[in-house]
């Protein structure tokens, strides 16, 4: 009740009936029969067959005014859908002849593969659990691509979430969006039945502010990864520049110390595998370039070269 913000008299699934049928066509036929017998309650119908949940759950849900004037929830699904609901998508592991995975069933494992990807990318178990909550325990909205493909998102998802659902590069270069033919801001909250079109630009990139408004795990992960990569590249360039200046003071160059292998040896003394990691940490400010020089040169040579005097002798 707290999650949905409803009162006890607004809960309609206290009494329920589940109808399991052979095929999808008969599911809709059964729905018609139910609605002809009992009056359906407005706003209480969900078609998860046409628009499955991210975990591939499928069923028709409706609430009718049942016997005695009491609300009655009815779920209608096929046997296959029932197995998915009760046993999970792994129950549909099927193979065709020649050991090739049925394309229809392969699509069902997209969600499972995504789950495994989150687990690999999120090292912190608490963060992984939070991402699971975001994608599994939410009310959903269903929107359309311009070509009519249905995409499901958590409530309050934005066009940025939609862009990353299409493709990572579309998300990275998302400049703006049109919803139902009209331009909307990137913090627009998607609504069921919206038709969403993403406008991209190769010169546009993710912003840290996007993390404040996106809702899907994929968008959050991709934005964080891009920001981390960019930060790393910036630190690498900065670290290289700092080290070059420090080396110059002692008559050394970065290219020579790198080619000779001396810089790699120093990097390994600091616990790194590659010298690039050392340079990145210099850029982050975790290691001082002077400290690196103390490892490169003997103590007696740690005196910066003085610049030649520009004064002429009298």
pLDDT digits (tens, 9 = 90+) for 6-53: 555 555 556 789 999 999 999 999 999 999 999 998 888 999 998 887
Render pLDDT for 108-134 as a digit per residue (tens, 0 to 9): 555 556 656 655 555 566 655 555 555
What's the rounded Cα separation, in Å, for the pair 25 and 13?
25
DSSP tag of 259: H
Instruction: Please tell me the predicted confidence (pLDDT) of residue 98.
Output: 41
Q: Which of 7-16, 240-249, 267-276 has the lowest mean pLDDT?
A: 7-16
CATH number at 8-97: 3.30.460.10
Per-domain residue ranges for the chain?
A: 8-97, 110-221, 232-301
Q: pLDDT for 63-102, tens place per residue?
A: 998 887 788 899 999 998 998 887 765 555 543 344 445 5
Q: Which of 105-109, 131-135, 236-240 has the highest mean pLDDT?
A: 236-240
Strands (E), the chain: 16-21, 39-47, 60-65, 71-78, 140-144, 150-154, 174-179, 182-184, 196-200
| Level-2 CATH architecture, domain 110-221 | Roll (3.10)
Question: Is 110-221 the same fold as 8-97?
Answer: no
Q: In 3D, which of 110, 105, 99 has the Cα closest to residue 80?
A: 105
d(CA 197, CA 185): 12
Spatial distance between the Cα atoms of 177 and 158, rounded to a whole number of angstroms? 10
Band of the pLDDT at 199, cuts 50, 70, 90? very high
Whole-angstrom distance, CA of residue 116 vs CA of residue 53 = 18
DSSP lists the bridge partners of residue 144 as: 150, 195
Which helix (H) or strand (E) element contains residue 119?
Answer: helix 110-121
- Pick the closest to residue 112 from 139, 84, 138 (CA basis): 84
């Amino acid at each position: 009740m707290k999650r949905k913000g409803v009162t006890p008299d607004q809960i309609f699934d206290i009494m329920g009936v589940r109808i399991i049928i052979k095929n999808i066509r008969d599911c809709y036929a059964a729905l018609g029969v139910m609605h002809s017998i009992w009056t359906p309650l407005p706003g209480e119908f969900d078609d998860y067959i046409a628009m499955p949940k991210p975990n591939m759950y499928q069923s028709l849900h409706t609430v009718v005014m049942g016997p005695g004037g009491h609300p009655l929830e009815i779920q209608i699904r096929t046997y296959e859908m029932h197995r998915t609901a009760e046993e999970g998508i792994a129950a549909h592991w099927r193979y065709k002849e020649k050991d090739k995975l049925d394309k229809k069933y392969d699509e069902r494992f997209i969600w499972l593969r995504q789950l495994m990807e989150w687990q690999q990318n999120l090292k912190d178990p608490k963060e992984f659990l939070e991402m699971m909550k975001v994608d599994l325990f939410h009310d959903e909205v269903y929107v359309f691509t311009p070509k009519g493909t249905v995409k499901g998102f958590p409530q309050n998802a934005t066009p940025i979430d939609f862009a990353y659902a299409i493709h990572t590069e579309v998300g990275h270069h998302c400049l703006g969006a049109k919803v139902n033919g009209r331009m909307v801001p990137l913090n627009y909250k998607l609504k069921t039945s919206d038709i969403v079109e993403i406008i991209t630009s190769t010169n546009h990139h993710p912003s840290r502010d996007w993390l404040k408004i996106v809702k899907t795990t994929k968008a959050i992960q991709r934005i964080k990864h891009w920001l981390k990569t960019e930060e790393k590249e910036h630190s690498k360039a900065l670290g290289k520049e700092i080290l070059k200046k420090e080396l110059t003071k002692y008559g050394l160059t970065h290219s020579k110390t790198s080619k000779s292998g001396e810089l790699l040896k120093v990097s390994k003394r600091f616990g790194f595998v590659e010298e690039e990691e050392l340079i990145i940490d210099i850029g982050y400010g975790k290691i001082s370039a002077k400290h690196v020089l103390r490892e490169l040169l003997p103590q007696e040579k740690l005196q910066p070269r003085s610049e030649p005097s520009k004064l002429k002798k009298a």
